[in-house]
Amino acid sequence: MKKADGTIVQWNGVCFDVEDQERSQEELRRAQERYARASQAASLSELSASIAHEVGQPLAALVSSSDACQRWLSTEPPNIERARAALERIVRSAATAVDTVKRVRALFKRAAETHQSEAVKDVITEARELLAEEALKRGVTISLEVEQHLPLVAMDRVQVQQVLTNLMRNGIDAMDGSMNEKLLKIRARLLEGAVQIDISDAGPGVEFPEKIFEPFFTTKGDQGMGMGLAICRSIIDSHGGRLWVAERAQTGATFSFTLPIESAINLYESTIGSGDVV
């Protein structure tokens, strides 16, 4: 306080207690550190589960084909033709596992995506052959319906094959214990500038269609990691497509995904006609 001539006659001071504020700031800082560590742990856990799932698909097919080969060689007399076919599937599964590991390594190196023009029918047929022995052993019939003259699609062949085998294996698993006909239907057709592939099973249907694509959500109990469908959706999204599930009216479920076509001029003469059942 000053007089008119500017002489100071009194000082006034205000004291603020900032202890609570400082304590809150420190707690906030610690909470942010804990959140950062938790996020890193979650990312590492998700990455580990993704790698395990990606590599596990071809390895499971390899083991199944190896068992089949051993059985055919153990028969009297040995069935050489069947054993040779199983060995060919083993070689393809091993090659797929190697390619999968290469893709995972490429993610760390931030390598460019390797999308090439591929015939959808060939990719679907390879995926079907990888699961042929497992489907036979579990009493499942796989039917394939590929529309004539499908255009080529720009894709990462290994990744799309992983999506197909994952969805097909889920369909096979869904029909375990079913008393009805165990039929897995695969359909490929051209719709609105994209190739759409549908995988339909005759199982009990999808209980949580809005949650099944979330990471770590699984309906398989201890046998599932909850990463398969999340990875599938991520792969299809990276290809510019879409993945979804639609329950059928009576029984079972249909998983569908789209892949944008590269060119409608590049036609592919499909050798598998409508309704080819294997």
139 has a pLDDT exceeding 50: yes
Mean pLDDT of 74-101: 82
Are 172 and 184 in contact, with CB atoms under 8 Å apart?
yes
| pLDDT at residue number 234 | 84
| pLDDT at residue number 40 | 52
222 has a pLDDT exceeding 80: no
5 has a pLDDT exceeding 90: no
Give me the chain's average pLDDT, please. Answer: 78
| pLDDT at residue number 23 | 86
Helix (H) / strand (E) containing 272: none
**pLDDT-derived band of residue 45, with 50, 70 and 90 as boundaries?**
low
Cis peptide before 151 (omega within 30 of 0): no
Of the candidate ranges 98-107, 229-238, 256-265, the one whose mean pLDDT is the lowest: 98-107
Mean pLDDT of 78-106: 79
| pLDDT at residue number 16 | 85
| pLDDT at residue number 62 | 78
Mean pLDDT of 42-64: 66
Mean pLDDT of 180-205: 91
Mean pLDDT of 82-96: 83
What Å distances lie between residue 205 and 140, 209, 255, CA to CA? 17, 9, 11
47 has a pLDDT exceeding 60: no
Are 117 and 159 in contact, with CB atoms under 8 Å apart?
no
110 has a pLDDT exceeding 50: no
Q: Where are the alpha helices (DSSP H) in the chain?
A: 19-74, 80-109, 120-130, 132-137, 157-174, 228-238
